[in-house]
A and B are shown apart, each in its own frame.
Chain A
Amino acid sequence: MGTEFKESITRAVNNANLTGALGKFSEAYKVNRAKAYEGIDFEELRGRIAELKGYAAAHLDELSDQFQKNAEACGATVFRTKDPAKVREYILKIAQENGVKTVIKSKSMATEEIHLNRYLEEAGIEVGETDLGEWIIQLAGQTPSHMVMPAIHMTKEEVSDLFSKEVNERLTSDIPRLVKVARDKLRPTFLAADMGISGGNIAVAETGSIVLMTNEGNARLVTSLPKIHIALVGIEKLIEKFADVATILQALPRSATAQLLTSYVSVITGPTPNSDGSMKNMHIILMDNRRSEMAADPKFKQALQCIRCASCLNVCPIFRLVGGHVFGKVYTGGIGTILTAWFDELKKSEDIQGLCIQCGACTDVCPGKIDIPDLIMEIRRRLVKDQGLPLLQKTIYAVVNNRKLFHGMLRAASIAGKPFTSGKFVRHLPLFLADLTNGRSLPAIAEEPFRDRIKKISQPKFKEKAAFYAGCLIDFAYPEMGESLVKILNNGGIEVIFPEDQTCCGAPARYNGAYEVAASNAVDNINALLREDVTYVVSACPTCTVALDHEFISTFESLGQTEWLPQAKILAEKTVDLSTLVTKLVAAGRLTMKEGQKLGKITYHDSCHLKRTLKVSEQPRELLQKAGYELAEMFECDTCCGMGGSYSMKLPEISAPILQRKLKNIKDTGAPLVAMDCPGCVMQIRGGIDQDGAAIIVRHTVELLAEQLEK
């Protein structure tokens, strides 16, 4: 990552206005969004949206033809182009032909994508933004920091300074008064403008209509007052049927601002009369700018299902810390990373793609049903394919890819690390892991890894067998978690085998775009885990479980390797996470916990992969309560802890404040104990608590359950 980029992050996380405003907003947003969706089956609704937008993305040419025919039949002029430069030229030409001196605009991301304002201004045309947020940004000479709320990073004092200069009068920071000033100041501009430029939230092929939504009412004025109206619409806004407008409008305002509907919705089909009786001169520009290439890409076509609600930004733990400016000038957040990689260029996304911690919070709320983290991974993969891995990473993966060498080094680390170990934590790690200790303590590498310890456990013989996939952390840092797992499964009548040849699950390589390495890890693990006939392959690390259950398959698919796919699918079938398996055993009456225990208060942290990819969240809670704990939910229990594998090494400046927030939420419950199902989260949170000094114990669910078994 470039220094300039790193600096922009540091600036952002230290900007109290920004993080304060975004933080407060993101908290309120979650509550309000849920309220706005009351009585609506969100999954059903987004299923329909994904389907109709997916259909449109697959038929862009047909729908563009149909749209053009219908809009022109109503009297509009439709201009279609692939090239942003042609869009700019076309708009300037119309302006010059009609002697346009001033233009008013309502909010449009597409015009920002092609930097239209600057172009027109250089040609001597005055351009006025009319959306309040956009106007503030324009006055400040800045770029928007959020797709829906462009000026969310500014305070009312800053706004009052800007406005004071604009109206030559010392204004206070009273918000209603500032809004009134903007109204009064912009009114004459509206009335005098020769041309109105808008975007389009939706374009309907069947009727040639465009749909515009605003809360302020500026789009109504932009499309009504000037005699010329130009609507610039990206072709991803096309949908086929008029009736489907209602489907999108059911989700868009709810997801964007938690409103049932924006104050104003205009559905415009061709020109309408002006107040002097003439007809409006109306142009609609359908802009491609790589959208049809995107549609032809088997992986990225999904991104065209976006309806630009920005809810993915609102729930993103990274976005709420750094805001939009770190992401660049136009599209921001997770989806913005993807759009920048396409509409601008792949290279431009090099730094920003690294901001995503892969927590999946965005995918949960996306009304277009887009798997944003998966697409960001694909960007990573393609960047690595184009540019190769940095040397340091290459060295690391060369090691990880050689199981014997890798495990040998980890064993060596347990000895070499000793001088640096105090109690259960390492303050400094040897070897390439040196940076890991930044901002939090790390576990000492165990003296004896789990792979050695299991040999000493004498297990009863059972017919049913499970292969335990430990993952690097349990094997080498937390072997006691593995021992607890064996104890539990034995109690439930299952014998645990530990296939010696298992190696790293490949997640670190995959999350850094090194898919070839991940694929080779996958093959090694498939061989190891399927060698013996077992009923289950069980893991107590959700990241590993996701690798076994989903990612081996998708890694092979991304690389076009089919040879190992059938085996990978068999492995996926057998894979199960600890809490789900224990829940099954309890339900079948095979496993019982001590009766009537009163173990006191506990709080539970949801690990990203467990909750959102594997959809497991109730099981561990029920088991812990059954064991005798009293559950006290923490605020934002399913928000990422900031670990994200090597993320915490690469972006400690972001990971650290996310961890601090998590620690605060844990402490606020007053529980002396916090449980979670992921050794990675244990490492992050336990390390944070150690440095913080709070008297809170951090445990994996597996350990807590093992202590409460009957017998």
Chain B
Amino acid sequence: MYQQFKIRAEGVSAEVYHFVTKEAALDHVINFLQADGLADTSGALAVWAECSFLDGIDRDALRKIAGLKFEVTRELAAQARFGISQMEWALADTGSLAQNSTAIEQRLVSSLPSIHIALVPTNGILPDMPTLLSRVHPAECRYLAMITGPSRTADIERVLTIGVHGPDRLVIIFVDELGGGC
């Protein structure tokens, strides 16, 4: 299913990576942020929403990276270049991610910044949407968000253009060690 997901997600311009350990994934995230301008003189910010990936990780050490914040507010998210969150599920047949986004912070980091980095537990990959909907109870999951590739429009002359109101890059990182979705 991972292969199918990867093909579909890349088909809609998402970037897909896979790591066995959290440590390797974390290294990748930090390198990515720094390579893409975090903490350079431009003062680019990254906001990281609460998630189980962060359990057992020394946040204070990470805070030393200039521009990386764990306090997600509207203002910070609106200024940030990167938003990081954990998405619980991935749908193999459409290349989509899904998350219980009831907490506003989860939505802010995935909708306001121009790059969204999504951490996904590898065994959160489901075959399709019917499977997802059978696991979700709307009364508890007040805001179920599905994301398929970056924000796009074709409203001017039908030319596909990436990044209108949402992120123009979606970076998906699967992590085996994260276990399953909830």
Contacts and interface: CB of A to CB of B under 8 A. Distances in A.
Main SS of chain B's interface residues?
loop
Interface stretch (A269-277, A292-300, A639-647): A269-277
B146 A132 contact: no
Contact of B74 (A25, A28, A191): A191
B94 interface: yes
Nearest to A222: B165
A216 B8 CA distance: 19
A154 B158 CA distance: 10
A132 B133 contact: no
Nearest to A188: B78
A263 B147 contact: yes
Interface string A190-233: 11000000000000100111000001111011011100000000
Looking at B108, B139, B146, B157, the one whose CB has the most chain A CB atoms below 10 A away is B157
A570 interface: no
A250 interface: yes
A385 interface: no
Contacts of A257: 154
B141 interface: yes
Interface in B136-182: 136, 138-139, 141-159, 161-167
A245 interface: yes
A167 to B, nearest CB: 15
A113 B150 CA distance: 31
Given A149-B155, A156-B157, A175-B161, A261 B148 contact: yes
Contact of B78 (A24, A187, A220, A223): A187
A265 B101 CA distance: 12
B18 interface: no
Contacts of A84: none
B111 A133 contact: no
B134 interface: yes
Given A183-B165, A224-B108, A25 B78 contact: no
Interface in B110-142: 111-112, 128-130, 132-134, 136, 138-139, 141-142
Contacts of B134: 243
A263 B155 contact: no
A176 interface: yes
Contacts of A131: 155
Contact of A216 (B141, B142, B148, B165): B165
Contacts of B155: 131-133, 136, 149-151
Interface string A139-161: 00000000001111011100100
Contacts of A272: 102-104, 142-143
Nearest to B128: A246
A149 B149 contact: no
A530 interface: no
B157 A225 contact: no
A220 B111 contact: yes
Nearest to B73: A275
Contacts of B143: 223, 266-269, 272
Contacts of B85: none
A263 B96 CA distance: 8
Contacts of B150: 263
B95 interface: yes
A182 interface: yes
Interface residues of A, number: 67
Contacts of B104: 224, 272-275
A433 interface: no
A151 B144 CA distance: 30
B151 A215 contact: yes
B107 interface: yes
Given A156-B157, A268-B143, A261 B165 contact: no
A270 B94 CA distance: 27
Contact of A269 (B130, B141, B159, B167): B141
A454 interface: no
B161 A267 contact: no
Given A183-B164, A225-B74, A264-B147, A216 B152 contact: yes
A74 interface: yes
A74 B142 CA distance: 9
A130 interface: yes
A179 interface: yes
A175 B103 CA distance: 35
Interface string A161-196: 000000000000001101110110011001100000
B145 to A, nearest CB: 6
A273 B103 contact: yes
Interface in A363-392: none
A194 to B, nearest CB: 14
Nearest to A187: B78
A150 B145 CA distance: 25
A484 interface: no
B138 A267 contact: yes
Given A183-B164, A191-B78, A246-B129, A132 B156 contact: yes
Contact of A217 (B139, B158, B166): B166
Contacts of A37: none
A178 B164 CA distance: 10
A249 interface: yes
A250 B8 CA distance: 15
Nearest to A130: B165
A19 interface: no
A271 B142 CA distance: 7
A267 B73 CA distance: 23
B94 A260 contact: yes
B37 to A, nearest CB: 17
A242 interface: yes
A353 B126 CA distance: 46
A207 B138 contact: yes
B108 A275 contact: yes
Interface in B50-101: 73-74, 78, 93-96, 101
B166 A179 contact: no
Interface in A66-85: 73-74
A138 interface: no
A262 interface: yes
Question: Could you say which of B8, B111, B136 has the most chain A C-beta atoms within 10 Å of its C-beta?
Answer: B111
B94 to A, nearest CB: 4
Given A21-B157, A183-B163, A217 B151 contact: yes
B91 to A, nearest CB: 8
A175 B156 contact: yes
Contacts of B136: 267
B156 A260 contact: no
A605 B94 CA distance: 37
A28 B158 CA distance: 11
Given A216-B152, A261-B148, A269-B141, A175 B159 contact: yes
B101 to A, nearest CB: 8
Interface in A505-525: none
Nearest to A186: B165
B93 to A, nearest CB: 8
A25 B158 contact: yes
Contacts of A217: 111, 151, 164-167
Given A179-B161, A250-B129, 10 more contacts: A152-B158, A175-B157, A215-B152, A216-B151, A218-B164, A220-B145, A261-B148, A263-B148, A269-B143, A271-B142
17 contacts: A74-B139, A132-B156, A154-B156, A156-B159, A179-B153, A179-B163, A215-B153, A218-B165, A221-B165, A245-B129, A246-B129, A263-B150, A263-B151, A266-B143, A266-B146, A269-B139, A270-B139
Interface of B: 8, 12, 73-74, 78, 93-96, 101-105, 107-108, 111-112, 128-130, 132-134, 136, 138-139, 141-159, 161-167
5 tightest A-B CB contacts, nearest first: A217-B166, A133-B155, A269-B138, A267-B144, A216-B164
